[in-house]
Chains A and B, each alone.
Chain A
Amino acid sequence: MKLKRVTAFCMAAVLAGSLLTGCSSGNGSEASQGNGEDGNPEEIVFAFQLGKTVDLEPIEEALNEILIPKINVKVNLEGYSWSNYDTQISLMQSGGEQIDVISMCPNFSTYLTNNQLMAMDELLDEYAPETKELIGDEFLKSTSKAGSIYALPVYGVKTDVNGVHIRKDLVDELNLPVDQIKEAETFEEYLENMDLLTQMFQTIHEAHPELVLVPSSQNPSSFRVTEIPFTDTLGDDLGVLMDGDDQNIVNMYESEEFKTLTEYMYQWNQDGFILEDAMTTQEAADTYLKNGRAFGYFETGSDEATMEAKVQRTTGYEVVWKKLTKPFVTTNLVNNSAFGISTTSQHPEAAMKFLNEMYTNADVVNILDFGIEGVNWEEKNDGCIGYPDGVSADNSTYDIGMTWYFGNTFLAKTWEGDVPVNVDEAIANNNSARTSPALGFTYDSTAVSTEIAAIGNVTSQYLPGLLCGFLNPDETIPEFLDALDSAGIGEVIAEKQTQYDSWLAENK
């Protein structure tokens, strides 16, 4: 009997042992499969976020028909659930599973901090010079660290600003002075916009008390009114550069500006403009608009016609969308969505060749965006595309709605009813937009991860109430600041300042 027990423990030991060796040997063995030299295409795995249940096999085949002859790379697409994506990637990387190209949205800096990304400077020069040229050094700085490039930001419109949707029939009926809303260039001008909005909301409220303003979703941060214009949040709102000071990192929540904006929200809420369930609703804002409960909501965008067309298509209501500020390009805006090569990749060259196609080959981009021509879409008049006969939004087998996501978004075709993007103008706007003095600065939060963990709980406790106007700023902000202090926001800001100072020294 003793013997049996011993056997059992031995088995446990063997198993644990095989677990260890299994992982380490797993790393090496996969390199053998397919390498470009002997004519077989190199196989790579491209992982990205996918919110819809879609069979990716036909898409893969269509892509490989282009990729294998051209660059001798065969790609395996793996779409993972948004909610579990970051975990899934770290599981795959720690397990030695093959993964080569990773999409990141929106956590580039986390991937960088955890050393999940490979430096790609040489690969970029050798295999993707066009892409490097295309994105440009200015934007590539946002995905760099200590002089090395770690990812390619999605190439597209970078001039998104906060704007407000208001139902057009109300604008006409009540003669709302929407045209007086200007693209603010200073905080004072932004406050003028706020006053104007307050007036208009008041008018709407008096005429139609049943209509309310809805935050763009349950998430308070997308209630972007309280975003202080021309403030660079440096990735996580904890320690920011305020407009007019490009040296000192400060606590945004302590600022007069933040308080003023939350006071607007509180007033709007007190006056009954805001949906009572704003903080807990499970519906998207446009659902409220569509069903006659909302008169408007806030949303970021860059082009009036595009935004208005989109809302009309999803809700059936004509709206007016007005920008509230001028664009302001920050690191975070640029690297919000990016593609990198996994540190565990055995095929970095092939991965880079594939990335190059995703930024320069319109066919590749359009397959990823819309699926297969003739099956999921076909050419229509005026250069637009649409569903082929017999296919609709209800039964399309692809239709993932992620044209903003893959590589070079300017290469995407225009869907019927959408407003075509004027690429030259968009690029000109990108280049002429005001940029943050910290553009290109990314920070490594490793040293303060304990503090950030504690702060995460404080902000999610206080911010939603403040940003939706349910908490009185006079009482809540001091409490909020105390909690932030004891969670260690001071250390976070100090750490960020140190890193920022050395970044400044390197880049000036």
Chain B
Amino acid sequence: MKEIQAGQITELVKKLCIDANYNLGDDVRRRLEDGLETEESPTGKAILEQILENADIARDDQVPMCQDTGFTVVFIELGQDVHVVGGDFNEAINEGVRQGYTEGYLRKSIVDDPIIERKNTKDNTPAVIHTTIVKGDKLKITVAPKGGGSENMSEVKMMKPADGIEGVKEFVIDKVKRSGGNPCPPIVVGVGLGGTFEKCAYLAKKALLRPLGEHNSDPKWSAVEKELLEKINKLGVGPQGLGGRTTALAVNIEAHPCHIASMPAAVNINCHAARHKEGIL
């Protein structure tokens, strides 16, 4: 049994909120540099150069890469031997978001009522928290700020089993094509397959956490990931949708058992910042 103080959770969440917004991931930077080398469009090249220069400025000046510092999505892997003491678990996370978004000069982008009043909550809470109980005595926290532009281009589709893998590929490729410049290409495409309606969407978002360049461990899915990435980069959408060969940096698939009558498929698109940072208590 390991005791973890609620205060430690707050402190780590705060650090990760700021880190994720200021510092581009190394894997993402590498994929952007690869894209710059192979991009054929001069406009596309200029945009990729700006994105990389922007990442340097954000890191050196310690400012957010993007003004949309996102909805704070937090993934927790809570070891079943951990005992959280000294405060409420979920409140500790939200307090970490509150402090991180204040001390980090991050934008507060959450409104309370989604439809009518839409009043800003002023502290970027509440976070969306996904907690999974796992074996062991560690608490792993991943903070993945999610911007509105890319999120708005995402979709869950309850397909027919008869639609098959070709139907899935058509759904994903068509989604990216129709999204155009809106999600800030070059994008990362998270694909969820199977599960239930809400599980499928969750899988698509979880897929965005995988380091770019790493494939699904199941060879049948990694083959589809490679095929989708190649086909998406042939669409010509390019950086910011203004035309080019660098439309997606990666396609990540997460699959799960599903109902005999269903074939759920979900696409969660991430922008070229692909923000997520993790820490372990």
Instruction: Determine if chain A interacts with chain B.
Output: no
